[in-house]
Structure 1
Amino acid sequence: MSIEPMDDFATDAAENATSSRVDDGSTRFDAPIRDALLRLGYLSEDQSARVASHQLERGLDFDQAALELGFITTDDLDRAREQLITSLALQNVARRPVSDELVVIAEPSSRRSESMRLLRTQIISQHLKNGRRGLACVSPTDGVGCSYIAANLAVSLSQVGYKTLIVDANMRSPRVDQIFGLDPNAPGLSTFLSLQVSRPERVVNANVLPGLAVMTAGPPTPRPQELLSGNRFRDGVNTLLREYDLVLFDTPAANANADALTVGAAAGYALMVARRDQSYYRDVSTLTEQLAASRCAVVGAVLNEF
């Protein structure tokens, strides 16, 4: 595997279903964060009622309304969100052993693991240290190892203390659940996007590995592009970006649908994955241009050899 910066590459390329409805989004009242603030003693019942009234009047989220009224501090909110993630996460879901595809665990001394650690170092120095929290792993065609790269990168980042979430945004042929030994039919991204739960944290599997959380694609849905294109996906992504040091998104191949472009636009940044002797330069350059048009910056490229 080799990792290439995208600046020169991008320059060259430029030159050459019905679901049960729980929350329809018509109200912004956020009971989970309210309850967490009450449990921690940061709000009284009287203050909570005043926040709810201010929230409806101003059209804000509950936490934003509480901050605006001065009832809580940003530190209070951070602690409440941390408790919320822990309490809402799917921590009791039956799990199988993780796959041997996670080479950073199965083969920590191998050349493949060393390549992933090199990629981790570059992501930390060129992405995380600049305050960037979202990263979509994208590929021009299928079979180049996009899920493999995303999963191993997520694990390697968690191993050095970064609070990491990997989201399987490939609702067409998901693989993240297989790699991490999770139930493919358990609640996941499709569950949140189809309004079956009110908050994205409710479908996060916390501590699948130390420091690593996983959101699977969820039960199959007949309309993935429609779900990803809505404001609910963008709002959910923004919520998750506040909670983790890095949120990685696995995406389907871009030559078959527009899902990767939609996810990349929400994440803001993308990592291009291609395979030696299989991926064509024109396909990679076309995807780079499409991502740029979607206002998604390609921060690097991985030429997968494994």
Structure 2
Amino acid sequence: MIGQGNTTTMDSTPLADAVANRIDDGRMTFDAPIRDALLRLGYLSEDQTTRVVAHQAERGLDFDQAALELGFITSEELDRARELLISSLALQDTQRRDVSEELIVVNDPGCLRSESIRLLRTQIIAQHIRAGRRGLAFVSPIDGAGCSYLAANLAASLSQVGTKTLIVDANMRSPRLDQIFGLDANAPGLSSFLSLQVARPERVVHANVLPNLSVITAGPPVARPQELLSGSRFRDGTNTLLREYDLVIFDTPATNANADALTVGAAAGYALVVARRNFSFFNDVSTLVSQLASARCPVIGSVLNEF
């Protein structure tokens, strides 16, 4: 709380003093981003903004809290404005790297596809994260269903609402997350840890690739990925990571050619099945669900990807 300023000049007022104090200690500068976000989204008018500034000065509040206290915005609108701020910061960061346009929740947060990702995010938070589940493997019976696309965008979307998220590229056969997030494909990654080139899984984490989002890439190519994933080192490393994040998402290769995804799903604890409209066959999806059950990996749901 900022105390009201005291002055002996004839033309000063407590309100003016309070505003001056907030400018002096930098809080007006701090308030500017959230104020601008609320204006951009149409949640505040210019007249309301002026009244909020006066109220925050009188009460010694931050701008967002003053707007809430006056009833000009709701908590949901404030959350959306904060999300917009984080997206803007993320976009500034991605512009410094060659991030794929596929990361739509950052590059085009207002589009229909981004809204669909946010709906999935809401369901994952409510039904998975709040239930204490920390791991989730994205699996599909065939290539081209959109596992990498959905996993990457969900991870980025979760990070935008403050969920501490890690995404792991467990597709060491045809990795894509390095391209999506603009990272070095040859940098140490999952394969480096599993092949004993790196001692601990934390050493291959690209921390804060976006705010609240870290990434483990697949790493340099290896000859026998299934053998590496089947070893205790992968399970132990996964358990270590699950303790450090709110959610760890695993991208996996299609199950029609190998059993990698089943192994990853069993270690993650849970799986989300991804299919593409007019592309994936029901029998393939049904077989995958049965295979996951045999691998003792519960399926929390499925996504029919239309993009």
Q: Same fold (TM over 0.5)?
A: yes
Q: Which amino acid aligns with 2:157?
A: S
- Distance (whole Å) between structure 2 residues aligned to residue 125 and residue 187 of structure 1: 34
- Distance (whole Å) between structure 2 residues aligned to residue 107 and residue 254 of structure 1: 31
- Distance (whole Å) between structure 2 residues aligned to residue 98 and residue 166 of structure 1: 15
Q: Match of 1:130?
A: 131
Q: Match of 2:238?
A: 237
Q: Match of 1:190?
A: 191
Q: Deviations over 1:61-114 (max 9, x none)?
A: xxxxxxxxxxxxxxxxxxxxxxxxxxxxxxxxxx73321101101111100000
Q: Match of 1:36?
A: none
Residue 139 of structure 1 deviates from its aligned partner by 0.3
Q: Match of 1:111?
A: 112
Q: Match of 1:285?
A: 286
Q: Deviations over 1:172-226 (max 9, x none)?
A: 0000000000000000000000001110000000010000000000000001000
Bigger Rg, which one: 2
Once the two structures are aligned, what percentage of the paired residues are identical? 78
- Distance (whole Å) between structure 1 residues aligned to residue 277 and residue 180 of structure 2: 23
SS in 2 for 1:127: helix
Q: Match of 2:213?
A: 212
* Residue pairs, 1:267-282, within 5 angstroms: 267-282=268-283
* Residue pairs, 1:48-59, within 5 angstroms: none
- Distance (whole Å) between structure 1 residues aligned to residue 115 and residue 99 of structure 2: 19
Q: Which amino acid aligns with 1:205?
A: H
SS in 2 for 1:104: helix
Alignment of 1:172 with 2:179, yes or no, is no
Q: Provide structure 2 residue ranges, at least 5 long, that are not aligned to the other structure.
A: 1-95
- Distance (whole Å) between structure 2 residues aligned to residue 203 and residue 173 of structure 1: 18
Q: Match of 1:55?
A: none
Matched residue count: 212
Q: Match of 1:159?
A: 160
Q: Match of 1:144?
A: 145
Q: Deviations over 1:229-278 (max 9, x none)?
A: 00000000000000000000000000010000000000010011000001
- Distance (whole Å) between structure 1 residues aligned to residue 98 and residue 161 of structure 2: 21
- Distance (whole Å) between structure 2 residues aligned to residue 119 and residue 268 of structure 1: 19
Alignment of 1:262 with 2:263, yes or no, is yes
SS in 1 for 2:253: coil
* Residue pairs, 1:7-86, within 5 angstroms: none
TM-score computed with the length of structure 2 as normaliser? 0.69
Q: Provide structure 1 residue ranges, at least 5 long, that are not aligned to the other structure.
A: 1-94
SS in 1 for 2:248: strand
- Distance (whole Å) between structure 1 residues aligned to residue 240 and residue 114 of structure 2: 31
Q: Which amino acid aligns with 1:128?
A: I
- Distance (whole Å) between structure 2 residues aligned to residue 284 and residue 205 of structure 1: 33
Q: Match of 2:250?
A: 249
- Distance (whole Å) between structure 2 residues aligned to residue 187 and residue 152 of structure 1: 23
- Distance (whole Å) between structure 2 residues aligned to residue 284 and residue 197 of structure 1: 36
- Distance (whole Å) between structure 2 residues aligned to residue 211 and residue 226 of structure 1: 32
- Distance (whole Å) between structure 2 residues aligned to residue 109 and residue 303 of structure 1: 21
- Distance (whole Å) between structure 2 residues aligned to residue 149 and residue 234 of structure 1: 24
SS in 2 for 1:185: coil
Q: Match of 2:225?
A: 224
- Distance (whole Å) between structure 2 residues aligned to residue 206 and residue 141 of structure 1: 30
